Amino acid sequence: MGGYMRIAIADDESDVVNYLKNLVEEMGHVATSFSDGAALSQSLVRETYDLVIMDWTMPKKDGLATLNWMQTSLQERPPVIMMTNRTAKKDISDALNAGADDYITKPEDPSVICARINALLRRSAGSGAFEAKAVYGAYTFDRIDQTVTVEDKIVTLTAKEFELADMFFRNRDRTLSRNYIMETIWRTTAALATRTLDMHISRVRAKLDLKPENGFRIFTVFGYGYRLESIEKR
């Protein structure tokens, strides 16, 4: 990942802002901080950012309002990570359905936050170009043979399962909506029983043995979609 990125951080809690700022700067990026949604919005008009991390609950203009404003008023909207203290799954799916690209429930481990930031920056940098072979920890994807090798063992997947797994790994640590997944893999959103996706994912998890011990887990965002999380081995 070449060069640094410009990241806007908005939260009314200065300690959290500083914590995130340190984290982002340690990653080699440039962080600009704001204490409320209005200030962030003002800056977004003039400046260009590669990523926005903002709190849901902010004075003057809260996260959702800012997000809506960005949807309608900015020509090119940077990806947004919504941070929230809310844990109800409905709140999370609401935020994502409102257009947030991802969300983080506070408090979250620094490693997870970094992974999420990277996932979004990867996307906005346009990376993920098709290489014949890709290695993610113990998993090796051969895109020509459409096979996955887990620690030297070849796992046989159907075409759809391979596509699904490949998509998750390329977008690891990024929350993908069900619609996005279905559009990409099945090229349709309609006419596909929602259970089909759940069952495919369940099979991919079983076949690839995706679990924290192997460095990855599939996380279900109920009411929205799925995310493949990379687990940092302690």
Partner 1 sequence: MNLRRRLLIEWALIALFGTLAVILATHWRGTSAFDNLVYDQLSSISRPKPDNKILLINIDEASLARVGKWPWNRNIHAQLIDKLASAGPRTILLDVLMSEASSAADDRALVEAMQKSGAVYLPLNFHSPGSDGKAYDTEYPLSVLDAAAKGVGHVNITFDNDGIVRRINLCFDSGERSWPHLAELIYRNGAAPSPAFAGLARCSQHLLLPYAPRDSYSEISFVDAHEGRIPDQLVKGRDIIIGATAAGMGDNYPAPFSDGGVVSGSEIMANVVAALRRDDFIASAPVWQISLFSLLPMWLLMLGFLRWQPRTALIVSLCLIATVLVAGMVALSASIWFPPGAALIGIILVYPLWGWRRLQAMSAFMQSELGELEREGEIVPLALNPDRGSDLVGRQSAALGSAIDHLRDLRRFVSDSLEHLPDPMFVTDMVGTVTMANHRIEDYLGPKLKGTALKSLLDRIVAPMHRRSVDEYLRAIEREPTGDHQPFVRFVSPDGSHFVMRSAPVVNDLDVHVGQIHYLADISALAQAESDREEALQLLSHDMRSPQSAIIALLPTVPDKDVSRRIEGHARRTIALAQDFVDVARMGESPFEGTDVLLTNLAHDVTDNFWPLAQERSVRIEVIDDSDSGFVLAEPDSLGRAIANILDNAIKFSPVGGSIQVRTRRIRDVEARMLELTICDEGPGIDPDLLPRLFTRFAARSVPDARIKSSGLGLTYVRAVAERHGGKVWVENGKKGACFHLRLPEAADPIPDPAA
Residue 226's H or E segment, with its range, is strand 225-230
Residue 230's H or E segment, with its range, is strand 225-230
Stretch touching partner 1 by CB under 8 A, among 60-68, 103-111, 121-129, 162-170: 103-111
Q: Is the peptide bond before 59 cis (omega within 30 degrees of 0)?
A: no
- The closest alpha carbon to 37, from 77, 79, 8, 76, belongs to 8
Type of residue at 154: I
Q: Does 218 bind partner 1 (CB under 8 A)?
A: yes
Q: Does 96 bind partner 1 (CB under 8 A)?
A: no
Q: Does 24 bind partner 1 (CB under 8 A)?
A: no
Q: Under a CB-based contact definition with an 8 Å cutoff, are residues 29 and 153 in contact?
A: no
User: How would you class 134 by CB atoms within 10 Å of its CB: exposed for 0-12, middle for 13-18, buried for 19 or more?
Assistant: middle
Q: Does 73 bind partner 1 (CB under 8 A)?
A: no
Residue where the block lists tokens 């003039």: 46
User: Please, which residue, 84 or 171, has the CB nearer to partner 1?
Assistant: 84
Closest approach of partner 1 to the CB of residue 21, in Å:
11
Q: Does 59 bind partner 1 (CB under 8 A)?
A: no
Q: Pick from 18, 35, 140, 147 the residue near partner 1 by CB under 8 A.
A: 18
**Residues 172-211 interacting with partner 1 (rule: CB under 8 A):** 190-196, 198-199, 201-202, 205-206, 211
Count the Cβ atoms, other than its own, within 10 Å of residue 127.
11
**Residues 76-95 interacting with partner 1 (rule: CB under 8 A):** 85-89
Q: Can you give the binding site for partner 1, defined by CB under 8 A?
A: 13, 15-16, 18-20, 22, 57, 85-89, 106-107, 110, 190-196, 198-199, 201-202, 205-206, 211-213, 217-220, 222-223, 231, 234
